[in-house]
Amino acid sequence: MQQLLSKEFLYEPLQEIAAKYPDWLAKNKGVIPTEEYEKYSEQFGIIQEICRCYDAEPENVEKIVELMQKMQRCGQPPSEIVKVCLACFLVLL
């Protein structure tokens, strides 16, 4: 489990996913229901937090697991992001 959550394994895919969110959020603000938009915004924030954790304390597996669970509680990311980052995202599911 620790190896699957290692920085070497997840950091780059998470950064790729995070890079897609700002444009997607800007494009979909006011288009999708507010509740859905807020959920995706929260997801984006959690992904950024995971990346910061990998930068600052990559050995803190407990915190990374907690953040990953928090992200999963938000549900699936936008389908457009999943399609673009499918290879990366399969690791997170």
Please check whether residue 47 is in contact with residue 81, taking contact to mean a CB–CB distance below 8 angstroms. no
Is the domain 7-89 a CATH 1.10.10.970 member? Answer: no
- Length of the chain equals 93
Contacts of 51 (CB under 8 A, 6+ apart): 11, 14, 15, 18
Report domain extents, the chain: 7-89
Q: Over the stretch 48-90, which tens digit does the pLDDT of each residue have?
A: 999 999 999 988 989 999 999 999 999 988 988 877 666 554 5
Please check whether residue 37 is in contact with residue 29, taking contact to mean a CB–CB distance below 8 angstroms. yes
- pLDDT over 70 percentage in the chain: 85
Residue 17's φ and ψ, nearest 5 degrees, are: -65, -45
pTM higher than 0.85 for the full model?
no
Sign (positive/negative) of CA torsion 17, 19, 21, 27? negative
Fill in the DSSP letter of residue 60. Answer: -
